[in-house]
Structure 1
C-alpha cells in the first residue's frame, strides 16, 4: 500500500471532521450551562458540564478535552465531567490545559493554573461528596499551579495545593500538599525526588 493511502491518514481526516462536530456540540452545552470559555478550546467526544445556580466555571483558552474512548490511546473510561455540586462553588481553569476523561467536582473552590496536564481518568475534587453523612468533613479548596502534570489515574482530594512544575505519578492519591518542582507518587502521594530545571 502506498504511503498516502495508509489507514493512518484516513484516521487523521476522520478526527479532524469529528473535532469540528464535537466543538459545536460542546460549545453549545457550555453556553447552556453558563460555562465561561475565554478562548478557543478543542473537544473530542462529549464533555459533560453541570452548574448549579450561583456557581461559576471559567475555562481559559486553548484547552483540550478528550472525552471519547478513542481520543487517547492510553484509554479513556469516561467523558470529561466538570461540575459544581454546591452553591457558591467556583472552578477556574487556566490556559492551555489538557484533560482526558478527567472528572472535576467542586463544592467550594478548584483552581488550575496554565499548562496543567491531566492524564487519562484523573479526578480532582474539593469535597467528600456526601455532605449528609456525619463521617465526611468540610469541603476544602484545591489549587494546582502552572505546569503540573497529573499522571494516569491520579486522584487529587480536598484541601490539596500542588506547586508549579511538579509531576504526580500514575494512580497516585494526593491527600496532602505537594511542593513545586518535584516528582511525587504513591497512596498517599509522597515526594520521590526534586526536579532540577
Structure 2
C-alpha cells in the first residue's frame, strides 16, 4: 500500500495556489498597478521613518511620521518616546547656542498636528499623551534682539495630558500644567495651572478643575 505524505501534498497545493494568484496579478493590469502602488507606499513610509529617526538622539517604538516632516538640529538633541505621531509638514528646529546645547523631548503617545512648528534654542519638554493640534507654534526664544542685547531664552514645559488647540502660540518661559487645555487661537505668555482651560490673547483661565481624555 502506498503511503501518502500529507504535509508534502499540502505544500504542493499551497504552492500551486500561490502561483495561480501571482499569475492572476501579473495578467491583470489593474491588479498589477494596485500592487505596485501599495509596494511604493510601504517603501516610502519605511524610508520616511528611517530618515526622521536618524535625526533623533533617541526614539521609542512605533513612530509614525507622515510626509514632509522637516527636522533641523544643530548643537542639540531630540528625544522621542513610544507611539509618537508626526502629521504632515511638521517642522522641528533645534538649534543650540555655541556654549549650550538645545534639548527637545516629546513623551510617549503624543501627537503633533499638521504644520505645527517647534523652535527650540534651550529646552522644550512635551509630556506624554499630549495632543498638539494643527498650525501650533511652540518656541523658547524670540529669534530677534533689541538694542543689541543678548537673546533671552527660557525653557518651555508642557506636562502630561495637555491639549493645545489649533493655531495657538506657546511663548518662551511657559509651563502648562498637567491635564490642561489651550483653546484654539490662544497666545500663552504665562504659566497655566493644572487642569485649567485657557483661551484668548493673552490666554486667561476661564475654567478650572477640568477633565478630558486624550
Higher normalized helix content (fraction of residues): 2
The aligned residue for residue 86 of structure 1 is 96
Say whether the 8 Å CA contact 2:108–2:128 is kept in structure 1. yes
Q: 2:124 is paired with a residue of what secondary structure?
A: strand
CA–CA separation in structure 2 for the residues paired with 1:21 and 1:188: 45
Which range moved further: 115-124 or 126-135?
126-135
116, 119, 138: which one pairs with 1:124?
138
Question: 4+ runs of 1 displaced by more than 6 Å?
Answer: 16-19
Look at both structures and tell me which one has the larger radius of gyration over its CA atoms: 2
Say whether the 8 Å CA contact 2:197–2:210 is kept in structure 1. no
200, 210, 214: which one pairs with 1:186?
200
Cα-Cα RMSD: 2.2
CA–CA separation in structure 1 for the residues paired with 2:206 and 2:60: 36
Superposition TM-score, scaled by structure 2 size: 0.72
99, 111, 117: which one pairs with 1:98?
111
The aligned residue for residue 49 of structure 1 is 71
Q: How far 1:137 sits from its partner (Å)?
A: 4.6
Consecutive unaligned residues of structure 2, counting only runs of 5 or more, are: 1-37
The 5 A counterparts of 1:19-168 are 20-21=42-43, 23-53=45-75, 55-67=76-88, 79-87=89-97, 88-100=101-113, 101-131=115-145, 134=148, 137-168=151-182
Superposition TM-score, scaled by structure 1 size: 0.78
Q: Which has the higher contact order (CA 8 A, sep 6+)?
A: 1
CA–CA separation in structure 1 for the residues paired with 2:64 and 2:182: 24
Q: Deviations over 1:99-137 (max 9, x none)?
A: 112111100000010011101100111000125863775
Label 1:181 to 1:34 Cα distance change in 2 as closer, same or farther (>3 A).
closer
